[in-house]
């Protein structure tokens, strides 16, 4: 089906988006790590927008132009990266270092219609370790998302993503197998947004499936990961009131349910649970230099197993972007959420993450960045508390619209009150990217 044919179908039927998405999915055979279709195409806007930052603003002389086919633009790219990891197993003692080559092909398709939108794409990340080849991985994912404009004030949106990924050795849930744990995810998102007067109401529904694969044990036999397989559902209703063009207030209610494929996990716990969050906040824009969102509320999660502790307490966060000059952007985020875990005896944990990043345009084609973050994970049901300290710096050199380079360094320090779970990690990366 051609792009023009799909556009006609969408204009003629409210179910056209679903039909078009199904038709477009058929040729895609690989799945991507990050949805490439969410990337903005350079033809959308060439002048800086009022909420753009140094990192995401349009640069017509360096942005890829893409390949036009009918009513779609195609954006292929290929990255080659060399990495040094000082602690590939994220261990406290007997640390092992290695060099890694990472190859990342990607392709993204974006519609260029006056109404509606359809994006789809695929990405792969193939890593080869110089010495510890059992750590090699092949991640891949694919995504389709789109929007169907019912009127100028109402639209439907939907998305589908499939992915094959690996679990990082530094994850608290890593089972310590001979190879990293591989897992599949499938996610379906859909919803509707409507504007009436100064009010905007938005409903979002998400279903996510996770399938963890067994891995060889460090000794003999297999480590059974089937008890981690689960289905997650969540629904969010958000009502926003625009006080004026620069200030809006909102309230939102989130409900979710988690069902594990195995009724009882390998440690004898029933991990099925339900949760909710009720939050309110404000979105602000001050003089075009400071924009952001601040919200707070209450969250709770109850578990079917009576031996697993109910988690409840204040939730919330903020996201602020400050642009003191046209060359510098400072971004700060704080978020506090309840997270899932498979740690024996733990029901879940509160995770509080604070992050500050700075992007600076040193030259028109030289971009500098740095960040620092702190994360506190407080487990419920067991005596465990993990702290994560991360920091990094990097530089991007835009050679032309088809080639750019990146170099960076990242530091990670994990401090846990459970013996043997603290570690330090240094990562250095040099990457070259080609794009059309």
* 344-366: average pLDDT: 94
pLDDT score, position 422: 94
Answer whether 1's CB lies under 8 Å from 23's CB. Answer: yes
Percent of the chain exceeding pLDDT 90 equals 79
CB 193 within 8 A of CB 202: yes
pLDDT at 51: 63
What digits encode the pLDDT tens for the residues 200-232? 999 999 999 999 999 999 888 999 999 999 999
Tens digits of per-residue pLDDT, 297-354? 999 999 999 999 999 999 999 999 999 988 999 999 999 999 988 888 899 999 999 9
Please state the pTM of the whole predicted model: 0.82
DSSP secondary structure letters along 191-202: EEEEEETTEEEE
3-class SS of residue 132: coil
* SS3 state at 299: strand
Average pLDDT taken over every residue of the chain: 88
Count of alpha carbons within 13 angstroms of residue 289, beta-carbon side:
7
Closest C-alpha to 400, from 62, 57, 32, 41: 62
Residue 50, pLDDT score: 54
Tokens at residue 388, please?
A: 């994560």
pLDDT of residue 43: 31
């Amino acid at each position: 089906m051609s792009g023009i044919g799909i556009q006609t179908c969408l204009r003629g039927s409210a179910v056209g988006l679903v039909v078009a998405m199904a038709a477009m999915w058929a040729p895609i055979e690989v799945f991507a790590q990050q949805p490439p279709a969410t990337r903005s195409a350079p033809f959308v806007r060439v002048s800086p927008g009022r909420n753009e930052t140094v990192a995401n603003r349009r640069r017509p002389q360096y942005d890829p132009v893409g390949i036009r086919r009918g009513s779609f633009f195609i954006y292929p790219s290929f990255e080659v990266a060399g990495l040094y990891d000082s602690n590939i197993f994220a261990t406290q003692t007997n640390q092992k270092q290695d060099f890694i080559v990472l190859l990342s092909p990607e392709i993204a398709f974006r519609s260029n219609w006056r109404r509606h939108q359809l994006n789809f794409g695929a990405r792969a990340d193939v890593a080869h370790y110089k010495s510890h080849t059992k750590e090699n991985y092949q991640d891949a994912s694919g995504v389709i998302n789109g929007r169907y404009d019912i009127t100028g004030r109402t639209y439907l949106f939907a998305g589908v993503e499939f992915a094959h990924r690996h679990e990082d050795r530094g994850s608290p849930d890593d089972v310590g197998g001979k190879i990293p744990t591989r897992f599949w995810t499938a996610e379906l998102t859909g919803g509707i947004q409507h504007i009436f007067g100064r009010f905007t109401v938005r409903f979002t529904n998400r279903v996510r499936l996770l399938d963890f694969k067994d891995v060889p044990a460090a000794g003999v036999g297999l480590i059974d990961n089937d008890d981690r397989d689960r289905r997650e559902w969540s629904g969010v209703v958000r009502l926003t009131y625009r006080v004026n063009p620069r200030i809006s207030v909102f309230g939102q209610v989130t409900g979710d349910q988690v069902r594990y494929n195995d009724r009882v996990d390998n440690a004898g716990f029933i991990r099925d649970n339900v949760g909710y969050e009720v939050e309110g906040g404000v979105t602000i824009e001050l003089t075009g230099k400071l924009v952001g969102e601040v919200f707070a509320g209450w969250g709770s999660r109850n578990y079917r197993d009576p031996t697993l502790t109910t988690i409840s307490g204040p939730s919330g966060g903020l996201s602020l972007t400050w642009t003191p000059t046209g060359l510098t952007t400072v971004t700060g985020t704080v978020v506090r959420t309840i997270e899932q875990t498979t740690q024996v005896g733990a029901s879940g944990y509160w995770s509080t993450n604070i992050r500050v990043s700075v992007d600076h345009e040193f030259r028109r084609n030289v971009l500098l960045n740095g960040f620092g973050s702190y994360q506190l994970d407080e487990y419920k049901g067991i005596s465990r508390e993990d702290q994560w300290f991360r920091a990094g710096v990097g530089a991007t050199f835009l050679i032309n619209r088809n080639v750019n380079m990146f170099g960076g360094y990242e530091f990670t320090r994990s401090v846990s009150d459970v013996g043997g779970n603290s570690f330090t990690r240094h990562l250095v990366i040099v990457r070259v990217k080609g794009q059309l």
